């Protein structure tokens, strides 16, 4: 996804941003929101230990404040608020490593010409709530117009808006005429916006710095052409190896990870060689790309669900024919290549490109991953321990363990037997606060 909606009100928007930047703390991802209960004990028929893959029966999770205090066999916890979830499986909060939480699917032309970033900014909180209520307690948001993602992240962290913990990339960085640019329209059509378009090593380094200056947690680079934009061939590389190396060097120098959008095999290889932390989409990855990813430990984030949605909805969304031709080319190939990458043992993290399809449907991708050859536990690991590792938060989230964030979701049944149960989570806790399923399950204070 890239089709960033453009706006024309740069002056007033920029002034608002400057104020926000002045008020915001530099690292707000873990700032606490509504105050959690001091002590809670959550019980369900099963607890899934994602690291071992074992289901633990008759277990409970004790939560103190915003952290997990203990995981162990059922026992009384005097003074704790008890939450009884019955025939459900408790898992760590899910993580989607590729969202665009500031936009939702809509009419192609309406989104480009009739909506400004202000429209996005006032609606984005709804997508954030839907994402959290779907069990995704953390997302890595990889590209948004006008730093709306960063403002949303900050509002959630301050407790003003309900949503997942967000790691935000700010503006996606890409070449003139590429997937991060707006192509296919009159040369006289111009939008006054912050832009991630940059050519050459110096400009690219400067864009990295601008993103970091405005609060980006990571850097998103567009290494090849894309699907949902009107530039040419979907697989074409759009940065040279030297340009990619400069971008990665600059980002890593500031301690920021890099997510690379890449569909074509050549661009994927360049991105991995340049040292990106994840290759996203990876649709046309070849054997050499898979080998390189394994050798370098690069994560693949393959969004294998959204093809179904695009091909079902493109007429209603009025995507130009050029875009649909591209989707038809890559959608099925991506699933075949996902299977090859899984068989080869490449590191996989869960990412959906939510925004291409409605936010809150993120978990529909689990079934596609299993269909394409991944064991259910591996698909769940991709969205928990592996995702947490990719985000650099392996010590804070991704599994249910003492000292980690109290991010818990419950699936109504056993998700190892049926991953589609993750599409209907019955309970969501983030940072010790219950956002879904609490009212019916709370049974009072333990004697």
Residues that contact Zn ion, how many (by CB under 5 A): 2
Which strands make up the sheet holding 408-411, listed edge to edge?
Answer: 54-57, 46-49, 89-92, 408-411, 427-430, 433-436
In sequence order, what are the residues at sequence separation of 6 or more whose Cβ sits closer than 8 angstroms to the Cβ of residue 352? 96, 98, 99, 303, 305, 306, 362, 365
33 or 280: whose CB is closer to Zn ion? 280
Q: Looking at residue 140, what DSSP letter applies?
A: E
Residue 353 binding Zn ion, by CB under 5 A:
yes
For residue 281, the minimal CB distance to Zn ion (Å) is: 8
Confirm or reject binding of residue 243 to Zn ion (CB under 5 A).
no
Contacts with Zn ion, 308-347, as mask; x by CB under 5 A = ----------------------------------------
Q: Which residue is nearest to Zn ion (CB)?
A: 1
Q: Is 271 in the site for Zn ion (CB under 5 A)?
A: no
3-state secondary structure of 82: strand
Q: How far is the CB of 224 from Zn ion (least distance, A)?
A: 12
Q: How far is the CB of 21 from Zn ion (least distance, A)?
A: 25
Dihedral sign (CA 425, 429, 435, 439): positive
Of 327 and 407, which has the nearer Cβ to Zn ion? 327
For residue 406, the minimal CB distance to Zn ion (Å) is 29
Q: Which is nearer to Zn ion, 40 or 306 (CB)?
A: 306
* Tokens describing residue 28: 């707000």
- Cα radius of gyration rounded to whole Å, the chain: 21
1 binds Zn ion (CB under 5 A): yes
Pairing of strands 67-73, 218-222: unpaired
Q: How near is the Cβ of 98 to Zn ion at its closest, in Å?
A: 6
Name residue 55's beta-bridge partners: 48
Cα–Cα dist 72/95, whole Å: 24
Alpha helices for 134-177 (secondary structure H):
148-157
Question: Which CB atom, from 1 or from 39, has the smaller least distance to Zn ion?
Answer: 1
Residue number with CB closer to Zn ion (1 or 429):
1
- To the nearest whole angstrom, how small is the minimum distance from the Cβ of residue 104 to Zn ion? 13
Spatial distance between the Cα atoms of 81 and 42, rounded to a whole number of angstroms = 9
- Decide: is 423 part of the binding site for Zn ion (CB under 5 A): no
What six digits make up the tokens of 111?
């989104």
Cβ atoms of 137 and 93 closer than 8 Å: yes
> Which window, 267-275, 349-357, 386-394, 430-438, contacts Zn ion (CB under 5 A)?
349-357
What's the closest the beta carbon of residue 133 comes to Zn ion, in angstroms?
A: 22
Residues of this chain that bind Zn ion (CB under 5 A)? 1, 353
């Amino acid at each position: 996804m890239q089709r960033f909606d453009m706006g024309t009100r740069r002056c007033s928007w920029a002034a608002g941003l400057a104020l926000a930047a002045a008020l915001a703390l530099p690292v707000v991802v873990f700032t606490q929101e509504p105050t959690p209960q001091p002590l809670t004990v959550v019980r369900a028929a099963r607890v899934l230990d994602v690291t071992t893959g074992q289901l633990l029966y008759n277990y409970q999770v004790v939560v103190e404040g915003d952290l997990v205090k203990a995981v162990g066999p059922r026992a009384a916890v005097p003074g704790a608020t008890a939450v009884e979830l019955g025939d459900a499986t408790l898992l760590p909060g899910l993580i989607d490593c590729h969202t665009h939480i500031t936009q939702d699917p809509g009419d192609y032309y309406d989104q480009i010409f009739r909506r400004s970033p202000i429209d996005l900014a006032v609606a984005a909180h709804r997508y954030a709530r839907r994402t959290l209520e779907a069990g995704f307690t953390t997302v890595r948001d990889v590209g948004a117009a006008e730093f709306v993602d960063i403002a949303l992240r900050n509002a959630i962290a301050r407790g003003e808006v309900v949503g997942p913990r967000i790691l935000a990339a700010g503006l996606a960085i890409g070449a003139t005429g590429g997937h991060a640019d707006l192509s296919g329209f009159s040369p006289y059509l111009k939008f006054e916006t912050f832009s991630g378009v940059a050519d050459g090593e110096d400009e690219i380094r400067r864009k990295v710095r601008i993103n970091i200056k405005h609060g980006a947690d990571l850097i998103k680079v567009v290494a090849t052409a894309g699907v949902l934009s009107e530039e040419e061939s979907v697989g074409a590389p759009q940065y040279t190896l030297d340009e990619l190396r400069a971008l990665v060097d600059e980002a890593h120098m500031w301690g920021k990870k890099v997510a690379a959008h890449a569909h074509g095999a050549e661009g994927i290889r360049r991105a991995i060689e340049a040292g990106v932390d994840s290759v996203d989409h990876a649709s046309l990855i070849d054997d050499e790309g898979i080998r390189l990813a394994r050798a370098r430990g690069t994560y693949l984030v393959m969004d294998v669900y959204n093809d179904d949605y695009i091909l079902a909805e493109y007429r209603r969304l009025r995507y130009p024919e050029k875009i649909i031709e591209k989707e038809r080319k890559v959608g099925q190939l991506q699933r075949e290549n996902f299977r090859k990458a899984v068989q080869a043992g490449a590191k996989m993290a869960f990412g959906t490109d939510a925004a291409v399809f409605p936010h809150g449907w993120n978990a529909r991708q689990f079934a596609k991953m299993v269909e394409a050859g991944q064991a259910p536990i591996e698909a769940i690991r991709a969205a928990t321990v592996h995702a947490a590792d990719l985000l650099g938060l392996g010590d804070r989230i991704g599994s249910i363990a003492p000292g980690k964030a109290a991010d818990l979701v419950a699936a109504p049944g056993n998700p190892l037997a049926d991953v589609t149960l993750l599409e209907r989570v019955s309970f969501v806790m983030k940072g010790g606060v219950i956002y879904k399923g609490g009212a019916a399950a709370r049974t009072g204070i333990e004697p």
